[in-house]
Amino acid sequence: MESPAFGAAEQFIEGTIAAALVALWLLAVALHLARPYMLALTRKFTLRLGADLWWTIYVGMRDIFLLQVFLGSFIFFYPDVVAGNDLPITGGLAGACAFAALLLKLTTRADADARSFYLQTFFIGLGASLYLGAYLLGSQVTTVGSSISNQLASILVSSQNPTIALALCYLSAFLVGIMGIVAVVYNLRLASPAPRKADAGAVSQPAAKS
């Protein structure tokens, strides 16, 4: 169904999500990099319960914000939305980076494995750069009017560079699909009747604890 009011309302929502993603990316990066500060504070608690709650709330918030970044980035997998709105051209790739960091959290000992943590930091940093760079230098300079800003917008704004934008849209969806399959297979392997010795603990413990 095509109507100006409907199109305007849809564009308003998509534009709002794109703007909110800037704040979400900043929060995700900030919470990820705040880990040493949180750890230092955790060690100062004199009551075990306070330390556990502090750390649990931190980990929960940090991971939920990263998940929200990925979920918000879902609009960059919709071809019509990407081609028709002034969105950052690398938004889909940034979403794929957020998903890669989430996949690392799932498949490794995320908070106890330094290598995995550095890789997560890399993906979160790369994703934030891809999103914030294209948003601030592309989507937010469309009405500035200078020759440099017009040139930047013609490269970094999805509606002004639809061929590359659509290619990146399909590529991002493909990458997320592949990583999604890896996550599903990982879960199904853990839940198989004869789990690998290294994973056995992760399968059998939870229900007893809950």
Partner 1 sequence: MNDQQALVQGTQYWLILSVAAVLPILWAFTLSLHFARPYVIRYLQGLTLRFGGDVWWLSYVLMRDGLLVVTLALSAIFLFPNLYMSPDLGVPITAPLAALVLFWALLAKLTGDSDDDARTFRIVSVLLVVASMLYIIPQVYGVEAGDQVDALNSISSSLGGIPGALVSGSNPDVSYPILNLSLLGFAATGAVIFAWFLRKTKFEPAEIA
Interacting residue ranges for partner 1, rule: CB under 8 A: 1, 3, 5-6, 9-10, 13, 48-49, 52-53, 56, 59-60, 67, 70-72, 74, 77-81, 83-84, 102, 105-107, 109-112, 166, 173, 180, 183-184, 186-188, 190-193, 199, 201-203, 205-207, 209-210
Q: In this complex, which beta carbon is closest to partner 1, that of residue 145 or of residue 197? A: 197
Rounded to the nearest whole angstrom, what is the least distance from the CB of residue 6 to partner 1 in the complex?
Answer: 5
- Quote the least distance from Cβ 167 to partner 1, whole Å: 11
Q: How far is the CB of 59 from partner 1 (least distance, A)?
A: 7
Nearer to partner 1, 60 or 154 (CB): 60
Within 10 A of 190 (CB to CB), how many other CB atoms are there? 14
Q: Which is closer to partner 1, CB of 82 or CB of 128?
A: 82
Q: Is the dihedral of CA 112, 115, 119, 122 positive or negative?
A: positive
Q: Shortest distance, CB of residue 43 to partner 1, whole angstroms? A: 14
Identify the CA nearest to 130 among candidates 158, 91, 102: 91
Three-state helix/strand/coil letters over 4-45: HHHHHHHHHHHHHHHHHHHHHHHHHHHHHHCHHHHHHHHHHC
Instruction: Select 148 or 167, whichever has its Cβ closest to partner 1.
Output: 167
Q: Indicate the residue among 151 and 192 with the shorter CB distance to partner 1.
A: 192
63 or 121: CB nearest partner 1:
63
Least distance CB 70 / partner 1 (angstroms):
7
Q: How far is the CB of 37 from partner 1 (least distance, A)?
A: 19
